[in-house]
Chains A and B, each alone.
Chain A
Amino acid sequence: MTLKTEGDTHIVVTRHFAAPPEAVYRAHTDPKIIQQWLLGPEGWTMPVCINEARPGGKFRYEWTNAKGAGFHITGEFVELQPPRRIVHIERMHLPDPTPDNHVETRFDPDGTGTLMTIRMTLPDAKTRAAMLATGMEHGMEASYVRLESMI
């Protein structure tokens, strides 16, 4: 996996998967499959995974751990070009909503596999500090979940 900042406005992540774009795209849009991997550390579950994979469709992901701590993100799909591209907007609720994060995800054929490229908005310093501060309060687990939700 590579992770780089692009100027001071964006983050770009790339990751190769040993599966065709159709499979990786499906894993990012089928709520039953999303619930299997977008989880955070051991002990967290994703009891709510609403994912309307169509332009204008909404999504809502909620996580909880065994101790009852919880967190959620909401978002909207802007554009979907199966199996190659997803454009969406999302925000975390900390519990106040963070500024919108604009995310573009591409699934390009790469040999027999897929090269996934994600370009997302770099959160401002205030949001980064809030995410780090919450991590220290609730333990790093909670902040991992918040960060994973930025995908």
Chain B
Amino acid sequence: MSSGFSLNTSFAALADPTRRAILSRLARGEATVMELAKPFEMTQPAISQHLKVLEEAGLIVQRVDGAKRPRRLATAGIDAMDQWLAMLRKALEKNYDRLDEVLAAMEPNIRRKKQ
């Protein structure tokens, strides 16, 4: 059932300010580990650890460019889930609005039954 995207782990991933800053940087375009480490004055292994968390949460993906592995935002998974949930919400709300009317029409019968 895994699509690589999980709401719970993505919230946990976003709880860290460095990771949020990495995502902001990637929103401007893809970047390598070296490019991402510079503004934080962090070692590459430290940045790599953050990147691993973001990848496992399905928030970023990498591609192969020779010896480099540039990262970019994985918006597709988030968008598709949001889109699907929005569609489900709309559909259910429509159904239940209709059910409200059906129940209101049923009421007199229920009251009579209870007597």
Asked if A pairs with B, the answer is: yes
List residues of A whose CB falls within 8 A of some B CB.
Answer: 1, 3, 5, 7-9, 11, 13, 15, 17-20, 22-24, 26-27, 33, 36-41, 99, 122, 124-125, 128-129, 131-132, 135, 140, 143-145, 147-148, 150-151
Q: How far, in angstroms, from A43 to B56 measured CA to CA in the complex?
A: 44
Q: How far, in angstroms, from A99 to B1 measured CA to CA in the complex?
A: 10
B102 within 8 A of A: yes
* Complex interface: stretch among B17-25, B30-38, B60-68, B78-86: B78-86
B49 within 8 A of A: no
Query: What are the residues of chain A within 8 A of B94 when measuring CB–CB?
Result: 40-41, 144, 148
Q: How far, in angstroms, from A129 to B77 measured CA to CA in the complex?
A: 10
List residues of B whose CB falls within 8 A of some A CB.
Answer: 1-3, 5-8, 77, 80-81, 83-85, 87-96, 98-104, 106-107, 110
21 chain-A/chain-B pairs, Cβ below 8 angstroms = A1-B92, A7-B7, A17-B103, A18-B104, A19-B106, A24-B99, A27-B106, A33-B106, A36-B98, A37-B95, A37-B98, A39-B95, A40-B94, A41-B94, A125-B2, A125-B80, A131-B87, A143-B87, A144-B94, A148-B92, A151-B95
- The answer on a CB contact under 8 Å between A3 and B92 is yes
Query: What are the residues of chain B within 8 A of A13 when measuring CB–CB?
Result: 92
Known: A39-B98, A144-B91. A128 touches B81 (CB 8 A): yes
Q: How many residue pairs bridge A and B at CB < 8 Å? A: 107
Query: What are the residues of chain A within 8 A of B5 when measuring CB–CB?
Result: 8, 125
Closest 9 CB pairs of A and B: A125-B3, A147-B91, A19-B103, A8-B6, A37-B98, A124-B1, A144-B91, A37-B99, A128-B84
Q: How far, in angstroms, from A38 to B98 measured CA to CA in the complex?
A: 8
Whole-angstrom distance from the CB of B34 to the nearest CB of chain A?
Answer: 32
The residue of chain B having its C-beta at the shortest distance from the C-beta of A126 within the complex is B3
The residue of chain A having its C-beta at the shortest distance from the C-beta of B88 within the complex is A147
Query: What are the residues of chain A within 8 A of B2 when measuring CB–CB?
Result: 8, 124-125
- The answer on a CB contact under 8 Å between A124 and B3 is yes
Out of B7, B85, B106, name the residue touching A3 (CB < 8 Å): B85
